[in-house]
C-alpha cells in the first residue's frame, strides 16, 4: 500500500512542476487589496472583480495580478486583459 502512495506522491511532484498540464476553466478567489478584500472570478473566459475600478473599466489590479500569477494556466483567449 505505501509503495503505491509513494508513487502517487512522486507523480504529484512531477505534475506540480509542469504547469502546462493545468488550464483553469473557472474559479473564484478572495483577493486582499490594500484597502479591502475583493472577490475575483474567472468563468468562461471572462474576469470579474467586486472592486469599484473593475465596475468602471472592466479590468483592475486584482485581475491583472492573478493573470500574471496564473500565466499559462488561464487561456490566452480571455478577452480584454492582455498584459
- Grouping H, G, I as helix, E, B as strand and the rest as coil, residue 22 is coil
pLDDT band at 77 (very low <50, low <70, confident <90, very high): low
Name 53's Cβ contacts closer than 8 Å, sequence gap at least 6: 60, 61
- Per-domain boundaries in the chain: 22-83
Which tens digit of pLDDT belongs to each residue from 1-35? Answer: 577 888 899 999 999 888 888 888 899 999 999 99
Q: Is residue 80 predicted with pLDDT exceeding 60?
A: no
Q: What is the mean pLDDT of residues 30-51?
A: 95
| CA dihedral sign, ordered 9, 14, 20, 21 | negative
Between CA 44 and CA 10 the distance in angstroms is 32
Q: What is the pLDDT of residue 1?
A: 59
Q: b vs e for 49-61, b when ≥16 Cβ sit within 10 Å of the residue's Cβ? A: bbbeebeeeebbe
CB atoms within 10 A of CB 23: 11
Amino acid at each position: 500500500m505505501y509503495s503505491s502512495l509513494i508513487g502517487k506522491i512522486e507523480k504529484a511532484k512531477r505534475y506540480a512542476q509542469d504547469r502546462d498540464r493545468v488550464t483553469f476553466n473557472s474559479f473564484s478567489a478572495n483577493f486582499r487589496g490594500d484597502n479591502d478584500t475583493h472577490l475575483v472570478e474567472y468563468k468562461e473566459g471572462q474576469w470579474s472583480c467586486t472592486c469599484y475600478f473593475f465596475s468602471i473599466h472592466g479590468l483592475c489590479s486584482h485581475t491583472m495580478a492573478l493573470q500574471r500569477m496564473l500565466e499559462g494556466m488561464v487561456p490566452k483567449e480571455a478577452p480584454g486583459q492582455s498584459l
